[in-house]
């Protein structure tokens, strides 16, 4: 039996990041996160290298109002593959890659403005 994926039912700003995880909604999570339209879930990705559309299956399978996905690629910026960018675009989602710190800050601002934003955040040490 596989353990359940950690899931927070709602949207919340990212309070802190680093040491391999994140703080949000007064809780902490070790590992990467997907901040979706209706939930924040654990994401088993550890590096931006080699990301594929399959890594975003949960995002694509849930009904969502996300139009912009901020991709926090870790400590350093990494441009995702053309096929990943095109696949998300075909699903109606623009992707904006940046380092994880910048993605957290931008996510918080856009979330506070009520924008249709999501985030895929790779944890950093």
pTM for this entry: 0.94
Q: Is the pLDDT of residue 121 over 90?
A: yes
Average the pLDDT over 59-68 and give the result. Answer: 84
pLDDT of 65: 79
Q: Is the pLDDT of residue 63 over 90?
A: no
- Domain ranges (residues) in the chain: 7-121
Q: Which residue has the higher pLDDT, 83 or 1?
A: 83
pLDDT of 19: 97
In CATH terms, the fold of domain 7-121 is: Hypothetical Protein Mth938; Chain: A, (3.40.1230)
Q: Is the pLDDT of residue 5 over 80?
A: no
Q: Is the pLDDT of residue 44 over 90?
A: yes
pLDDT of 105: 98
pLDDT tens string 65-109:
799 999 999 999 999 999 999 999 999 999 999 999 999 999 999
What DSSP string runs through the chain?
-PPPPPEESS---EEEEETTEEEETTEEEESEEEE-SS-EEEE----STT--GGGGHHHHHS-----EEEEE-SSS--PPPHHHHHHHHHTT-EEEEE-HHHHHHHHHHHHHTT-SEEEEE----
pLDDT of 6: 81
């Amino acid at each position: 039996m596989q353990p359940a994926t950690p899931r927070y039912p709602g949207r919340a700003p990212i309070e802190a990041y680093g040491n391999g995880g994140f703080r949000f909604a007064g809780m902490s999570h070790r590992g990467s996160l997907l901040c979706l339209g209706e939930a924040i879930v654990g994401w088993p990705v550890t590096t931006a290298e080699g990301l594929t559309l399959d890594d975003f299956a949960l995002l694509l399978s849930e009904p969502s109002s996300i139009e912009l996905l901020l991709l926090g690629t870790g400590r350093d910026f990494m441009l995702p593959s053309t096929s990943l960018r095109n696949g998300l675009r075909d699903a109606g989602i623009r992707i904006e890659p940046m380092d994880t710190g910048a993605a957290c800050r931008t996510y918080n601002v856009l979330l506070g403005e009520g924008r249709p934003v999501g985030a895929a955040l790779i944890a950093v040490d």
